[in-house]
Amino acid sequence: MPENESRPAIETRGLSKSYRTGHVIQGRRAALQDLDLEVRRGEILGYVGPNGSGKTTTLKLLIGLLKPDRGEAFVLGDPAVSRSWRYRAGYLPEHPYLYDYLTPAEYLDYVGRLFGYPAAKRRERARELLALVGLERSANVPMRRFSKGMVQRAGLAQALVNDPELLILDEPMSGLDPIGRRLARRIIVDQHRAGKTVLFSTHILTDAETLCDRVAVLRGGRLLRVGPLGELLRLDVEHMDVLVAGLSEDGARLPDVDRVERVGDRLRLQVREAGLGRTIVGIESAGGRVLGVQPVRQTLEDYFMREMGGSAGGVGAWGEG
């Protein structure tokens, strides 16, 4: 195995970046500080953090759109500044703007030319990718007529032109409707199944939770934690949610029930796991019907709210998801 192949897909050491602030009195604001991160080959790593935590800055440093103040980065074993890894990687920027005077077919053809593909291969690849992202019927429509979601789909397609080993996606679900989100998730999962590496940034925690092998959590430009979700979260059941009909709120206040919440004409009971059996018997004895039982575990959002609790620019920025 060549030495580069044994190295992580992405590796950063002490990567730091600050931005200039102010015009008259100039200062600097640290956007990323001493980032040591490894993305293993074949994994999906979710890069999560609130707005302004340094996610996009990290990805731009990897791509070379920004120059680091200090530190180094390697992509697919090569220094991030080199050209060689770019033949084997794809990148989707946040809120991509693709040339609106071009059709998506023309844009993909242009991207194919940058990889040096012959015309027949470019045409074939454009057809495949437009079908994959559901834009085959808009292949020859100028992108100025596209909605934000359609541009995002075209952006995903351009990131896949070279069938990359590594996908770097900055907020890939941004601007997508539910169908588009499902499509983007399917593409990420399919890439993973094919052995590809995916690094994607998101502030939508459910996306990270459903897709990722590992999650890296960023706050204020610093890496807070990185690891499998199971390590980050307490995966044991916190309590059981029991959905009940035909019971009054007073009748539902049984010994193992910690909380009763009315949902329309039903009740949702928060029940301690050990007392589930006794509670169900109690509900049925009081004339109620159990409609559903669901174990509740800690979510990434719970973890994040706990970690970010009280920090400036932290919790408040997590509006979506």
Partner 1 sequence: MSRLVAVAANTFRETVRERVLYNLVLFALVMTLSGLLLGQLSIRQDEKIIKDIGLAAMELFGTLIAVFIGTGLVSKEIERRSLFPLLAKPLSRGELFLGKFAGLAFTLLVNVAVMTAGLFLTLLATAGRADALLLAAIVPIYLGLLLVVAFAMLFSSLTSSTLAAVFTVGIAVAGRFTDMVRNLSEVAPAAPRWLGPALYAALPNFANFDLKDRVAYGDPVPATVLVWIAVYALAWIGIVLGLGLAAFRTRDFQ
Query: Which residues of the shown chain bind partner 1 in the complex (CB under 8 A)?
Result: 19, 60, 63-67, 83, 86-87, 89-93, 95-99, 101-102, 106, 110-111, 113-116, 155, 158-159, 168
- Least Å distance between CB 160 and partner 1? 12
- Least Å distance between CB 95 and partner 1? 8
- Least Å distance between CB 260 and partner 1? 51
- Least Å distance between CB 63 and partner 1? 5
- Looking at the Cβ atoms of 92 and 176, the one nearer to partner 1 is 92
- Least Å distance between CB 151 and partner 1? 11
DSSP states of 186-205: HHHHHHHHTT-EEEEEES-H
Beta pairing partners, 29: 19
Q: Please say whether the beta carbons of 32 and 57 come within 8 A.
A: yes
The 10 Å Cβ neighbour count of residue 36 is 12
- Least Å distance between CB 199 and partner 1? 13
- Looking at the Cβ atoms of 109 and 207, the one nearer to partner 1 is 109
- Looking at the Cβ atoms of 21 and 210, the one nearer to partner 1 is 21
What are the distances in angstroms from CA 92 to CA 39, 222, 307? 17, 23, 29
Residue 156 CA to residue 180 CA, distance in Å, equals: 11
What are the distances in angstroms from CA 140 to CA 114, 137, 145? 20, 8, 11
- Looking at the Cβ atoms of 67 and 137, the one nearer to partner 1 is 67
- Looking at the Cβ atoms of 23 and 83, the one nearer to partner 1 is 83
Helix, strand, or coil (residue 1): coil
- Looking at the Cβ atoms of 51 and 248, the one nearer to partner 1 is 51
- Looking at the Cβ atoms of 64 and 246, the one nearer to partner 1 is 64
- Burial class (CB within 10 angstroms; exposed 0-12, middle 13-18, buried 19+) of 222: middle
Q: Please say whether the beta carbons of 301 and 205 come within 8 A.
A: yes
- Looking at the Cβ atoms of 88 and 272, the one nearer to partner 1 is 88
DSSP states of 3-30: HHHHS-SEEEEEEEEEEEE-SSS-EEEE
DSSP states of 88-150: GEEEE-SS----TTS-HHHHHHHHHHHTT--HHHHHHHHHHHHHHTT-GGGTTS-GGG--HHH
- Least Å distance between CB 30 and partner 1? 14
Q: Which of 186, 94, 183 is nearest to 136 (CA)?
A: 183
